Structure formats: C-alpha cells, structure tokens
DNA sequence: TTGAAAGCGATACCAT
DNA sequence: ATGGTATCGCTTTCAA
C-alpha cells in the first residue's frame, strides 16, 4: 500500500505538505497542491483512516445499534441516518444486537467501547445500568431513537398519545367493541414502546367508559404473519366479535386486514383497523394509521450528533417527533345490527 | 480516556506486558495476568482499535456494500453476515450505496478505499471497471453475493435456472398463458439478476413452444405495492387473461396474489402465482416459490472471507448457492373452459 | 517471564 | 509556504 511517505518522496515535498495539500488546508501554494494531488492520484494513494484517526482522535464513524434489521421502522431510520452521514463523509458502523442476549456484553466491550466511533445512536434498545454507565463514560455524544431510556435523551413520538389517538378515532366513529393487537417485542429491545401504546389504548377506553376485555388483548409480536394468524383465530371465535382493532404497528394491522379477508369479513364495514407507523405498504392497504416519519427521525438524530461533534452545544433534552392520525379507508363507523 | 500506559503504571509492569496479558498471549505469568486484568477492569480500560489497527494492520472490520437496506433479501443476507462476524469479534461497516449514483465515487474514495476494513462483501452491486480495479488493488479479500460481477467471484443461486424451473412448474401443471412479472431494479444495483431470471422464463416458454406475449411482460420493480397495482391493471384488461404469473421475487408475487384478491380472482384456481426467494411472508400466503437461503449465503460469504484473513488459501471460483422449487398452494392446474 | 524501544501512518505544532 | 519532529496508543521484535 502506498503511504504518505511515498507521495512525499515522489513529489519532493515533506509529508506535512502532502497532508495539508490533500486535505485542502489553506497554507499550501496552488502549484504544490496540484503536483501533490497529481502524484497521489497517480500512485492511488488514499490516506489511512486508522492512522489519521489515531493522530486526530476522530474516527469519522458513527455507531448505530439496532435490535434487528428486518423491520421497516429500523431500516427506515437507518436510511435516514445514512443519508446524513454520507453527506458529512461519515461512515456507519452497524451493531446488530439481535435477540440473543449472550452476545451483548461481548459486543459492548469488544466493539462499542473500543473507541471506534465518534458518536452513537441506539434504536429502541434497552440498556442495563452498567451498560448505560459505560456508554456515558465513553464520553461521546449518544442518542436513543424510539423508546425512551432512563438517563439518555431520545427522539421519538408520543407513544401513549399514539395509542390514545388511534383508539379515540374508533370511538368517535361509534365503536365500542375494540380489540387491541399488541404484544411484546423480542428480547433486548425496548419493551416500553408497545406497553406505552397499549396504555394509550386503555386511556381512551377508560375515558369513554368502555370495557377492556382481556380476551381481546392480542399479541402479534410485531409480525404480519403472526398477527394474521392471531386475528384469524379471534374472528373465528364464537360469541361477540369486536368491530374494530387497534394495532401497535402497521405490519400487525395489515396482518389483521388480511385475517379479515381470510375470514370473509369486510374491512371497514364489518371490521375497522388502525395501525401505527405509516408503513410503506399502508397506502396500498388503505390503512388508517398514526403516521410517523422514522426516516426524518434518523436524519435528525444524525444531524444532532454531527453538530455536536462539530462543536455545537449538546441539547440535553429529548425531542418529540411528530405523529398524526392519517385516515384512510380501513376505518368506518360500525354496522348497526 | 484511560490508555495502556495508565494500566501499565497502575500495575507496575510495562505496556508490553499489559498488552500481552490482556490479549491472553502465552508468555505472561498467571499472577501478572490477573493483576493486570484486575487493574484494567478497575480503570475501565479498553484498547483502542484505532491504535492497535495501526500497529497490526488489521481493522477487525468487514465492509458490506448494499444497494438498499429495505429489501428482505439484503437484510437477510446482512443478518447472516452479522452473526458470523460477531462470533469472530469482527465489526460490520455498512455502506448503503443507494440509488443516487452521485455519492458512489465519494463513498468509494473516502470510505471503502481508506483501509478501514479487512475484507469486503458486496450485495447485488454493479461495479464500473475503475471501481473494480480499485477494489482489487486494495488487495484485501472481496466477494459478491447475488449478481455475478465480471472479474469477481460470487455466491449466488442459478438465477436463470430459477426462472426456468418456476416457469416449467406452471407449464407442467398445464398452463400456457403465463405472464411474467419482472422489472428492472433501482439504479446501481445489479440489473443482471432480474434479466437473467427472465431469460430462464423465456427458455422454458421457448422449449415448450409457448408464446411470450409482450403485453404480459410486467414490471413490478421488486415492490409489493407496485406489483399489486400493475397486476391489477393486467387482470382488468379486456380480452384474454393469463392463467399464471411468474414473478421475479416473492414480494412481487405476493403483490400479484393481493391483486387477484382485489379483482375477485381466486388463487390458485383462476390464477397461479410463483415467486422466487421463500420470503418470510411466503408461507403465510401459501406461495409456491423457488426457495433460496440468503441468510446462509451471508454466513458463507463471511466465513469464507474470515478464513482467508486467517490465512486459508482463497478459493478463486464462485459458489453456487442452492435453490429449489417449493410447492405450496398458490399454484394449480388451470381451469378448463 | 518481562522490559525497552522501534515502528505503524498519519497529524499538528513549531520553526524557518 | 514549507519542513522537521513529536505525538497518537498500541504491537512486536530483541534483549535481558
């Protein structure tokens, strides 16, 4: 590999000058810069990030911790982060802290804490107290997107409000028999998000004096297929059927819509469905949902951290990302009997 | 940040010994090792990867170039890669070379070529000649998953065979009016994959003496929603309707199944649908498909590169990943009229 | 088994 | 505007 010395030798200037010239610093004469650049190109020289990282203390890398990479929300946030990083010439180190918790400690020590990154974004992760301390002691800017984590600032929508608004929408349409499709997430992720959304559902039901039926509290585990199965089972039960379902995510809501189709139950006339997210597929299914914009959340998070790395004062407080009810065609008043 | 010197000082040994002790090298007495480790833990010392990377020339990082992170195939490969890397204490640098081609050169020079990674995996990417040369001149092991790239070894299924097998399955069932749902991929990705699969479709149609109708060659752009719309349009056209559809991916195939439902056309009795992939959702839709295992492909790729980094001889040739027809309930003989 | 010291490849300060 | 050189934090001979 050609090093800076090779370029310096070939050009007949010092390595200091080569370094300055290539980085576009001010105090280099134009002719020199051109000569250096020409030689560097000719030799195919590219500065080693490892070396300059050691010298400058900056890695030009941002770490992103995700619980999984197979969910729309995460990948969309990731793309938002990515686009900002690329514009700033930053790289993205992906830490996929999947469900198996055994790896977590290793990843923490061997990777995250090894000064490989200048800043860190965590998506919907839960952290143990020691983990959090270690993160903070690293001393570089960090941020959580999705679920709030005690002691760390975060970016996220009003989860409880989302659950409440979705439910209120159905209540306003006249529904009283409203099921909830929630369900815990995988291990290691932030369980608070689904719980909080469900809390919002309970809020709305309570305020309206409507009963929350235990047998109508379903778990779709954030999966379309599982939700489809679970809701199919619900719809086929003998006895009273709910006229509406509040789902904790669009993927689950779509599962519910498909389940209805499987059972010959028409949406929205016989069953209304609301989700949360505004997933890519939501429009195709006419899904009414609490829309949020994870791409924008990712962009915001990355920008904030980059600004702070650039010397801007860190904002201590969390940021509430916007979300709003988006009515499509999966919700309607219940049929009178 | 505590450095190795701090630990050395605190323990009363040399940095050399600290380094050896912490890495578990042989020539350190047990008492010393314990003392060092205790001190290191106490001080919260973690070796800087930047520094050790400079010293050893290894970054313990693998670069992964993806065209997008929002498609099942890519993320599944990614997870396969990830699990192998984690087991080997390697990190994953994600290069999301999305469609906008403007960034590519920058990413190449500022990131990929900057010796930040020990090896590189590219997913379904196309490379220009100069890009390829630069990659190879980097001198570290590289591999392509998905679409073959001239001059680089790759891991992937028999794409043409997949298209052929899918089509032959329908022909064997008695279908003759078979549409194709393909469509180019986004810019910068390997366009050869969809084209090659379609070639397989043409092969099968040709061998069976069946006509390939231009108006039945659809473009679903690898998107469920777009495929759903496009197929809906097809099914609503006046005149003869195909009795079967070969889709280039399961996501598109599912779009076709939903389109059929939208049009009141039942699958498989009035319309058979085959896909490629064995997507997570395929089973939920009873989708007949050419199954492949991207997770395993990712694992294999990562293992191969890791082995080579460990000194194993590099295998020059490409690897054909397995794929096979998986018959579910979305295909059946056509209805006689 | 342990330590001293020479790199690794850049950056940045201080001279010139 | 340019060059010399200490420095970043760790690894790795080579000696002891």
Per DSSP bridges, beta strands B323-326 and B288-292 are antiparallel
Roughly what angle, to the nearest 10 degrees, separates helices B250-262 and B224-236? 40
List B residues 192-231 in contact with A (Cβ-Cβ < 8 A). 224-225, 228-229
- Six-digit token string for B105: 């050169």
Model pLDDT, residue A103: 72
Question: Bridge partners of A258?
Answer: none
Which DSSP letter does residue A187 get?
T
Model pLDDT, residue B168: 98
**Taking residues B324-330, what's their average pLDDT?**
98
B232 in A contact zone (CB under 8 Å): no
CATH 1.10.260.40, applies to A4-56: yes
Q: With an 8 Å Cβ cutoff, are B91 and A95 in contact?
A: yes
List B residues 274-303 in contact with A (Cβ-Cβ < 8 A). 280-281, 283-284
* B84: helix, strand or coil: helix
Compute CA distances A61 → A117, A133, A300, A301, A305, whole Å: 5, 21, 17, 14, 11
Instruction: Decide: CB of B87 under 7 A of nucleic strand C.
Output: no
**Taking residues B205-233, what's their average pLDDT?**
96
Model pLDDT, residue B137: 78
- Does residue A186 have a pLDDT over 70? no
- Does residue B167 have a pLDDT over 70? yes
- The fraction of chain B above a pLDDT of 70, given in percent, is 96
CA distance B108 to A19: 20
A136 in B contact zone (CB under 8 Å): no
Whole-prediction pTM: 0.95
* Nearest Cβ partner for A75 among B75, B82, B103: B75
Query: Min CA distance, A202 vs chain B (Å)?
Result: 31
Residue A137's pLDDT band, with cuts at 50, 70 and 90, is confident
Q: With an 8 Å Cβ cutoff, are A79 and B91 in contact?
A: no
Model pLDDT, residue B64: 96
Mean of the per-residue pLDDT values of chain A: 93
Which DSSP letter does residue A139 get?
T
Model pLDDT, residue A99: 55
Of A113-117, B49-53, B272-276, which gets the smallest average pLDDT?
Answer: A113-117
Q: First-to-last CA distance in chain B? A: 79
What is the per-residue pLDDT across B168-184, written as a single tens digit (0 to 9) for each?
A: 999 999 999 999 999 87
* Nearest Cβ partner for B224 among A47, A78, A281: A281
> Which class is A159-291 in CATH?
alpha beta
Compute CA distances B154 → A204, B115, B142, B324, whole Å: 55, 22, 9, 19
Of A121-130, A166-175, B116-125, which gets the smallest average pLDDT?
Answer: A121-130
Model pLDDT, residue A102: 65
Model pLDDT, residue B107: 75
| Closest residue by Cα to residue B253 from B147, B145, B170 | B170
Whether the bond into B248 is cis, omega within 30 of 0: no
A202, A203, A206, A208: CA torsion to nearest 10: -120
Residue B320's pLDDT band, with cuts at 50, 70 and 90, is very high
| Closest residue by Cα to residue B63 from B1, B123, B3, B19 | B123
Model pLDDT, residue B184: 74
B336 in A contact zone (CB under 8 Å): no
Residue A185's pLDDT band, with cuts at 50, 70 and 90, is low
Instruction: Please state which of the four CATH numbers 2.60.120.10, 3.30.460.10, 3.40.390.10, 3.40.50.2300 is assigned to the domain occupying A61-157+294-321.
Output: 3.40.50.2300
- Does residue A199 have a pLDDT over 70? yes
Q: Distance in angstroms, CA of B10 to C1' of C2?
A: 16
3-state helix, strand, coil in chain B (%, to 5): 45, 15, 35
Question: Bridge partners of A220?
Answer: none
* Nearest Cβ partner for B93 among A47, A72, A93: A93
- Does residue B128 have a pLDDT over 90? no
* Nearest Cβ partner for B79 among A96, A139, A281: A96
From chain B, pick out residues whose CB is under 8 angstroms from the CB of A47.
114
Alpha helices in B68-140 (DSSP H): 72-87, 102-106, 129-137
Q: First-to-last CA distance in chain A? A: 79
What is the per-residue pLDDT across A121-136, written as a single tens digit (0 to 9) for each?
A: 999 888 888 888 888 8
Model pLDDT, residue A337: 57
**Taking residues B59-68, what's their average pLDDT?**
94
Model pLDDT, residue B102: 65
Residue A320's pLDDT band, with cuts at 50, 70 and 90, is very high
| Closest residue by Cα to residue A111 from A91, A88, A94, A87 | A94
Model pLDDT, residue B99: 55
Model pLDDT, residue B277: 97
- Does residue A325 have a pLDDT over 60? yes
From chain A, pick out residues whose CB is under 8 angstroms from the CB of B137.
44
* Strand-by-strand arrangement of the A119-123 sheet: A319-320, A154-156, A142-145, A119-123, A61-66, A91-96, B91-96, B61-66, B119-123, B142-145, B154-156, B319-320
**Taking residues A314-326, what's their average pLDDT?**
94
- Does residue B187 have a pLDDT over 60? no
Model pLDDT, residue B113: 78
Can you give the residue ranges of every domain in chain A?
4-56, 61-157+294-321, 159-291
Roughly what angle, to the nearest 10 degrees, separates helices B15-23 and B30-43? 90
Instruction: Decide: CB of B16 under 7 A of nucleic strand C.
Output: yes
Alpha helices in chain B (DSSP H): 4-11, 15-23, 30-43, 49-56, 72-87, 102-106, 129-137, 159-173, 192-207, 224-236, 250-262, 294-309
What is the per-residue pLDDT across A24-80, written as a single tens digit (0 to 9) for each?
A: 998 899 999 999 999 999 999 999 999 999 999 999 999 999 989 999 999 999 999
**Taking residues B57-82, what's their average pLDDT?**
95
What is the per-residue pLDDT across B280-311, written as a single tens digit (0 to 9) for each?
A: 999 999 999 999 999 999 999 999 999 999 98
Instruction: Decide: CB of A28 under 7 A of nucleic strand C.
Output: no
From chain A, pick out residues whose CB is under 8 angstroms from the CB of B111.
89, 91
Mean of the per-residue pLDDT values of chain B: 93
**Taking residues A238-260, what's their average pLDDT?**
97
* B128: helix, strand or coil: coil
Query: Min CA distance, B113 vs chain A (Å)?
Result: 7
Instruction: Decide: CB of B266 under 7 A of nucleic strand C.
Output: no
Model pLDDT, residue A184: 74
Query: Min CA distance, B303 vs chain A (Å)?
Result: 18
- Six-digit token string for A179: 């099921």
CA distance A25 to A132: 39
Q: Do B61-157+294-321 and B159-291 have matching folds?
A: yes
**Taking residues A290-318, what's their average pLDDT?**
95
CA distance A23 to B192: 38
Which DSSP letter does residue A285 get?
G
- Does residue A100 have a pLDDT over 60? no
- Total beta-carbon pairs less than 8 A apart between chain A and chain B: 135
Q: Distance in angstroms, CA of A39 to C1' of D7?
A: 27
Q: With an 8 Å Cβ cutoff, are B89 and A98 in contact?
A: no
């Amino acid at each position: 590999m050609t090093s800076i010395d090779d370029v310096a030798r070939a050009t007949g200037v010092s390595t200091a000058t080569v370094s300055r010239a290539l980085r576009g610093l001010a105090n280099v004469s134009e002719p020199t810069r051109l000569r250096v650049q020409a030689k560097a190109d000719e030799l195919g020289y590219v500065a080693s990030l490892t070396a300059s990282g050691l010298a400058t203390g900056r890695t030009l890398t941002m770490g992103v911790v995700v619980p999984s990479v197979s969910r729309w929300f995460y990948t969309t946030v990731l793309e938002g982060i990515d686009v900002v990083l690329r514009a700033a010439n930053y790289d993205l180190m992906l830490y996929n802290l999947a469900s198996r918790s055994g790896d977590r400690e290793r990843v923490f020590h061997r990777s995250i804490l090894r000064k490989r990154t200048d800043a860190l974004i965590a998506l919907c992760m839960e952290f143990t107290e020691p983990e959090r301390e270690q993160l903070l002691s690293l001393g570089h800017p960090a941020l959580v997107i999705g679920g709030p984590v005690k002691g760390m600032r975060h970016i996220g929508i009003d989860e409880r409000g989302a659950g409440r608004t979705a439910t209120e929408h159905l209540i306003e349409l006249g529904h009283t028999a409203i099921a909830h499709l929630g369900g815990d997430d995988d291990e290691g992720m932030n369980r608070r998000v689904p719980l909080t959304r469900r809390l919002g559902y309970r809020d709305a039901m309570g305020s309206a004096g409507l009963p929350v039926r235990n047998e109508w509290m379903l778990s779709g585990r954030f999966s379309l297929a599982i939700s489809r199965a679970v809701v199919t089972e619900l719809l086929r039960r003998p006895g009273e059927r709910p006229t509406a379902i509040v789902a904790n995510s669009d993927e689950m809501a779509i599962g519910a819509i498909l389940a209805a189709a499987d059972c010959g139950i028409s949406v929205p006339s016989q069953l209304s469905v609301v989700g949360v997210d505004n997933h890519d597929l939501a429009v195709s299914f006419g899904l009414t949902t609490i829309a949020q914009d994870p791409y924008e959340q990712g962009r915001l998070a990355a920008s904030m951290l980059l600004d702070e790395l650039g010397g801007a004062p860190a904002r201590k407080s969390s940021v509430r990302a916007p979300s709003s009810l988006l009515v499509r065609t999966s919700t309607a008043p219940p049929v009178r009997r």
